[in-house]
Amino acid sequence: MIKTLALPSKPSRLFGPNIEGLKRGKGYRVKMELSIAQPDDWHLHLRDNELLQTVVSHSAKQFGRAIIMPNLKPPVTTTAAAVSYYDSILKALPNNTNFTPLMTLYLTDKTTPQEIKLARESGVVYAVKLYPAGATTNSQDGVTDLFGKCVPALEEMINQNIPLLVHGEVTDPKVDIFDRERVFIETVLKPLIQKFPKLKVVMEHVTTMDAIKFVESCEEGSVAATVTPQHLLLNRNSLFQGGLQPHNYCLPVLKRETHRQAIVSAVTSGNKRFFLGTDSAPHERRTKESSCGCAGVFNAPVALSIYAKVFEEAGALDKLEAFTSFNGPDFYGLPRNTRKITLKKTPWKVPESYSYASGSIVPMSAGESLEWLPIFP
């Protein structure tokens, strides 16, 4: 629900609002509020240990649930490890939070059908993540033989109705980094869906018009995609403007403006195949600002503000709630959240960084002013 309130720029001391001025919009500033069902984050990195303690509150106060990525060191390859990580997250949560972590397994060439069954029986594992070996942070243990060694696990995922979450990039060094998503679709994802048409697949953090067209061509409810704030707001120029910008570096890497526009058009169209997944990926500042910086954007503190900005600029605020709060749970077969949050059109400044004992983390849009402020009950 969208509320528009007109407030006098210079309030009258004695007589209150001027009704005619209100009707004509003269001397008034417009304040807007959005009331939406509490969103979920369908792609989140919380890390572990001290970093987990530092970042989890930013997501827990905004989102009802989140799909938690398993690329820790060591990766979360078993149900027992997923349950242990789940317990660690619960212990790190602030008091009086309703946040629920939805765990994932890290698919490897050695993942067995029995492990998939255990995952379903656990009640805490909701998906399995495919990382092509070497594709991104802590993916060195990822899949090398998807259509061979992984087939029994994929078949059991169909039996258990567990989605496969895909990091959609090839890792062949001969393929240009800006083309790796497109090549992955042609050489891996299309053959995968042809071979396993009943397998539910989420193409994570899509970055190209090629991915948009592919997801739109698939059967609704079978293939979907998450979309990040950075890929909606930024293009690859943002990596280099004013010098190298390490805090805008993520994988998949930002693409050219034509791709960004295609993503914005898709998510603001109301298409149910697309939903919120921040891919918020915190790294300590020194590991980003280094000679070989880590990939990942820490956007949890600003994600909802940026999504609202993008939808407002597209004239599609009426479609924001479905993208943030409905399409994800509908795809996963989970109930929608009933709790409400409010987004107020009021400026706020993003902190330059968030400090903790071992260092600091720089958020997306650090030091900038954003126009939408989330308010929580």
Max Cα-Cα span within the chain: 79
Q: Which is the catalytic residue, given 279, 288, 309, 345?
A: 279
Distances in whole angstroms, Cα of residue 35 to Cα of each of 195, 271, 327, 341: 43, 21, 17, 6
Q: Which is the catalytic residue, given 40, 41, 129, 345?
A: 129
List the structure tokens of 353: 């960084």
361, 352 Cβ separation under 8 angstroms: no
List the structure tokens of 225: 């995609």
Residue 148 burial class via C-beta count within 10 angstroms: exposed 0-12, middle 13-18, buried 19 and up: exposed
Whether 3 is catalytic is no
Whether 40 is catalytic is no
Whether 167 is catalytic is yes
What's the CA gap between 262 and 72, in Å, rounded? 32
Q: Which is the catalytic residue, given 58, 141, 167, 259?
A: 167
Whether 87 is catalytic is no
Q: Which is the catalytic residue, given 40, 41, 43, 231?
A: 43
Give the strand pairing for 201-203 and 223-227. parallel
Whether 205 is catalytic is yes
Q: Which is the catalytic residue, given 58, 200, 205, 288?
A: 205
Strand intervals (E) in the chain: 2-8, 28-37, 41-44, 65-68, 100-106, 125-130, 164-166, 201-203, 223-227, 274-276, 340-349, 354-356, 359-361, 369-375
Strand intervals (E) in 188-304: 201-203, 223-227, 274-276
Whether 43 is catalytic is yes
Provide the annotated active-site residues: 43, 45, 129, 167, 205, 279
